[in-house]
Structure 1
Amino acid sequence: MASKRKPSAAAQTLLAAFLAGPANWRYGYDLTKETKVGAGTLYPLLDRWARQGLLESEWRAADAPGRPARHAYRLTSAGIVFARTWAISPAVVENLKPSMA
């Protein structure tokens, strides 16, 4: 279950990025580039939210031969509710562009 405490600014920024395309699968690396949230903050948040049922996660095959598989994430229905509650302002959400469809 998600915490009742207000998420950090970094977490709110990530939630806004997910809300820009809630059904879209997102890669962690692309989220770091888009939001400027560091990997040391981003990946623990993604892991926690996945364990709490706020994100779905899956491994995806590499786009090019010889590249490793990548972990992709997207909001669950509970995650969408959580994100809408805690994400930063809608104006910021509109300025974030999803990095993958």
Structure 2
Amino acid sequence: MNLNKEQAVYCANVFSDYFDKFGRIDEYMREQKLASMAERSPVLFGMGPEEDLFSDFTMSPADMEFELIELPQDRWDTYLNMISSHSNMTSIPGRCLRLAILE
């Protein structure tokens, strides 16, 4: 695909106009993170994916029982977006292996 000069300038202006509304990069990242969190479907308390995350920090490592599992892409994306400080783009489906360690 080739763009002529007018099309390239138009695309550059659209891009610039979008990012001009943010004074700093962290404002952009915050808006993206809030938008991704708003897209999560609501769940009943105690039944959401956050229940799968480790939360007993009083447990000794000697008492832990670990399990290595393969996660489907949708669960991987959900967990990654829950624990990361910024929004993450969903991977294009294909050959990849997403492993998680459960306790």
TM-score class normalised by the smaller sequence = under 0.3
Tell me: higher relative CO, structure 1 or 2? Use CA pairs within 8 A at least 6 residues apart.
1
TM-score between both structures, scaled by the size of structure 1: 0.27
Greater Cα radius of gyration, structure 1 or 2? 2
TM-score between both structures, scaled by the size of structure 2: 0.27
